[in-house]
Amino acid sequence: MKNLVIKNERNYLVFAGNAISVMDNLPAKIYELRLDKEKGYSLDEIDNNFNITQKLYGNVEQISRQVLQSFDATEGNLGVLISGSKGLGKSLTIKKISSEALSIGLPVILVKQNLGNITSFIDTIHQPCVIVLDEFEKHYTNQTKTEQDEMERQDCLLNMFDSTLAAKKLFLLTCNDTRNLSEYLLNRPGRIHYHFKSNRLTIIEITEYCKDNLLPELHDRIPDICNMGARIPDFSYDMLRAIIFELNTYKSALEDVGHILNIGGRTRSPFDFKVYFKSGKVETGFDYINISSTRLRLDWYGKQDFCRDYAYINPSKAQWMGTDNGSLVLTEDINWPTDDDVKTDDKVEKIVFIPSKKGYLADGNDDDD
């Protein structure tokens, strides 16, 4: 049996055996980064090809195409952050991007735990590749390092995200709560170029998923499921799957399902809204609204005069429109104008509420009728 001796400056590595290959570059495979206190960092090939068998909903494929196209177009590193509550498809999006990266010859390296400052090792990889840090804030804390806590903080990796490595890298990070991220990562597109925020499912996603997975004879429940999703701020695929399981298995009433499942949460949900006037004018806004409330104030800024205006409404009167894009439409109990001295022939004909994903008209469809 022959020995293979590799010299790196004054350091010698001795390998025994014939099953050793010397390569110029890492093959396009999936690796997990590991650390041995004596041998240092290494990459272990793992048996996973990131094949995605389930249907992809929402904008997962669009995000994947945009990220890889931007990475190809840039000369330096590209950082991508996907944030949001659990069950919204963050890991699936990372999986899709990584799968497409493999298909074009990019190795994918998974960092599954806090391995300290990995910058120096990553810099030894002189080829473009993908570095995945799933649940980044869980493994790399933003808290001050103490003698009792030997975990490296997020700050130790800041230089790694900068465009100063030997070869450009695509960094894919997921995060459940951005409040636990370093101020030197957020709002710093030089380090993290993209920040895709997954705060909730859109109405289109809920409707499409229900059509694919709910028994056909139960499709008349879809508008009510959308209504339930609109009332839960962090409505996720986990919740939607549980609801569909109960309905398909027991044919229960949706109200009963809502009572027994571990879902609910806060009463205020983020909504984009459009205010439609008889004159044809349309105003838009965004607010956190309790749609079970009997009276609340809805504020917006006029597009033409930039003046603040508002109406008092009764959102509990809103009725669900069972269209594919879906919306809560309020046509009655709208008090506008609120100032008795304002004389106008105009009137508010309806207000359309769209459960928001990102703080703007998330479904991207202006046809709400």
Answer whether 60's CB lies under 8 Å from 89's CB.
yes
Tens of pLDDT, residues 205-227:
899 999 999 999 999 999 889 87
What pLDDT shows up at residue 362?
A: 36
What pLDDT shows up at residue 147?
A: 46
Q: Which fold has domain 26-197?
A: Rossmann fold (3.40.50)
CA distance 51 to 102: 11
Tens of pLDDT, residues 125-171:
999 999 999 999 988 888 655 444 555 688 888 888 886 777 899 99
Q: How is residue 133 written in tokens?
A: 């840090």
Q: Where are the domains of the chain?
A: 26-197, 203-260, 269-355
CA distance 52 to 92: 8
What pLDDT shows up at residue 168?
A: 92
What pLDDT shows up at residue 357?
A: 63
Nearest to 78 by CA among 89, 66, 90: 66
Helices (H), the chain: 60-73, 90-103, 119-122, 136-139, 158-161, 203-213, 222-231, 237-250, 254-260
What pLDDT shows up at residue 361?
A: 35
Helix (H, G, I), strand (E, B) or coil at 343: coil
Low-confidence spans in the chain with pLDDT less than 70? 1-3, 16-20, 49, 143-152, 163, 264-267, 319-326, 357-369
